[in-house]
């Protein structure tokens, strides 16, 4: 039976999807507050409240990570999440009230669907409400939430790109659980991390198969002109029941970035804003390297899941269009 991050004690997750507009957002919530960390590795990030996750900063709790479409406009969804959490009594006690700590990262999906409809405060609040109210249901993947407008394989522009989405995976070692959610909107191709075979990405000129984008990039040499510059990113959240300090969680986020390299080719380009959050909540003592190794596996498999669960939309093919080949 497939496990969900909703099965990891202390964590909730929910979506708000604007299907016709090709955008949405996904909230990962820890009502009691998790230890948080982040690794920002791409060249074009759109983020909120990432500095406070640094090990040297004094805020030691993270209540929600908001993954959102809408480019920088989507950061507004985090404000809606904060207000919904406040209504539910979740937040940091500051004496005169509570302040939910919500970090966020956004991806560019304005070229998929509508460029004028973006996740805002209403959608952020809806995603958090869904996290609480749908906790006993399986979490939807594919063209939902932050994955609704995701595309990949964009070296030659949107005409030869493919549809991606939001993927999920949970790994374990004994009682240790490490899960990942990834919204994959990369320049590069999504590849099976075990075989290296492309699952979704740059289509051939006749749209009959997926071609190796790294080879295409190298063949273009110095004449390469990247279309849609600064409009790509893969944003993810790792959750675990391990007890981690902020420094340890930061190391896990850094290790988890290897999963991007295993499943996206090329990755971490100047046109990607790759960001990975970590939320740790639990009392289980576990070696940091073990948590990190499981995080790598969870991330790479969540990315592959994003390709496999995506459905054709907005005139774009998806991995399911080539089912017989993958």
User: pTM here?
Assistant: 0.94
Residue 222: band (very low, low, confident or very high) from pLDDT cuts 50, 70, 90:
low
Helix intervals (H) in the chain = 76-87, 121-133, 213-220, 246-263, 288-309
pLDDT at 324 over 60: no
Q: Report residue 141 CA to chain centroid gap.
A: 11
Q: Can you tell me the mean pLDDT for 206-230?
A: 74
Q: How high is the pLDDT of residue 226?
A: 62
**CA 322 – CA 326 distance, rounded (Å):** 6
Q: How high is the pLDDT of residue 225?
A: 59
- Give the chain's mean pLDDT: 92
Q: How high is the pLDDT of residue 215?
A: 80
Of all residues in the chain, what percent carry a pLDDT higher than 70? 94
Residue 218: band (very low, low, confident or very high) from pLDDT cuts 50, 70, 90:
confident
Q: How high is the pLDDT of residue 326?
A: 43
**CA 108 – CA 103 distance, rounded (Å):** 17
- Domain membership of residue 303 as a residue range: 5-325
Residue closest to 177 by CA, chosen among 310, 315, 282:
282
pLDDT at 90 over 70: yes
Residue 125: band (very low, low, confident or very high) from pLDDT cuts 50, 70, 90:
very high
CB 103 within 8 A of CB 50: yes
**CA-based end-to-end distance of the chain:** 22
**CA 141 – CA 156 distance, rounded (Å):** 27
Number of independent structural domains in the chain = 1
Looking up residue 240, the CATH number of its domain turns out to be: 3.60.70.12
The sheet with strand 198-200 has its strands ordered as 198-200, 189-191, 264-265
pLDDT digits (tens, 9 = 90+) for 271-311: 787 899 999 999 999 999 999 999 999 999 999 999 999 99
Q: How high is the pLDDT of residue 231?
A: 73
Q: How high is the pLDDT of residue 190?
A: 96
Q: Can you tell me the mean pLDDT for 171-186?
A: 97
Q: How high is the pLDDT of residue 289?
A: 97
CB 9 within 8 A of CB 119: no
Of all residues in the chain, what percent carry a pLDDT higher than 90? 77
Residue 221: band (very low, low, confident or very high) from pLDDT cuts 50, 70, 90:
low
């Amino acid at each position: 039976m497939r496990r969900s991050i909703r099965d990891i004690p202390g964590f909730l997750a929910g979506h708000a999807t604007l299907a016709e507009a090709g955008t949405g957002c996904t909230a990962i919530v820890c009502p009691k507050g998790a230890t948080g960390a982040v690794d920002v590795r791409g060249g074009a990030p759109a983020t909120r409240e990432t500095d406070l996750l640094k090990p040297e900063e004094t805020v030691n709790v993270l209540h929600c990570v908001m993954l959102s479409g809408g480019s920088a406009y989507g950061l507004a969804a985090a404000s809606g999440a904060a207000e919904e959490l406040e209504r539910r009594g979740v937040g940091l006690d500051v004496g005169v009230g509570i302040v939910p700590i919500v970090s966020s990262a956004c991806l560019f999906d304005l070229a998929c669907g509508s460029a004028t409809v973006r996740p805002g405060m209403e959608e952020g609040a809806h995603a958090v409400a869904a996290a609480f109210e749908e906790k006993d249901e399986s979490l939807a993947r594919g063209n939902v939430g932050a994955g609704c407008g995701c595309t990949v394989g964009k070296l030659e522009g949107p005409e030869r790109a493919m549809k991606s989405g939001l993927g999920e995976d949970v790994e374990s070692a004994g009682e240790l659980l490490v899960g990942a959610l990834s919204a994959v909107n990369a320049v590069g191709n999504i590849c099976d991390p075990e075989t290296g075979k492309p699952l979704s990405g740059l289509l051939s000129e006749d749209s009959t198969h997926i071609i190796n984008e790294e080879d295409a990039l190298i063949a273009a040499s110095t004449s390469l002109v990247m279309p849609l510059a600064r409009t790509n990113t893969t944003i993810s959240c790792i959750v675990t029941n391990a007890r981690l300090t902020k420094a340890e969680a930061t190391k896990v986020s850094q290790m988890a970035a290897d999963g991007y390299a295993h499943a996206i080719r090329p990755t971490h380009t100047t046109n990607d804003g790759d960001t990975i959050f970590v939320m740790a909540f639990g009392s289980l003592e576990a070696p940091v390297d073990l948590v990190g190794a499981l995080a790598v596996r969870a991330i790479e498999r969540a990315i592959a899941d994003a390709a496999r669960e995506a459905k054709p939309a907005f005139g774009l093919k998806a991995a399911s269009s080539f089912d017989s080949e993958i």
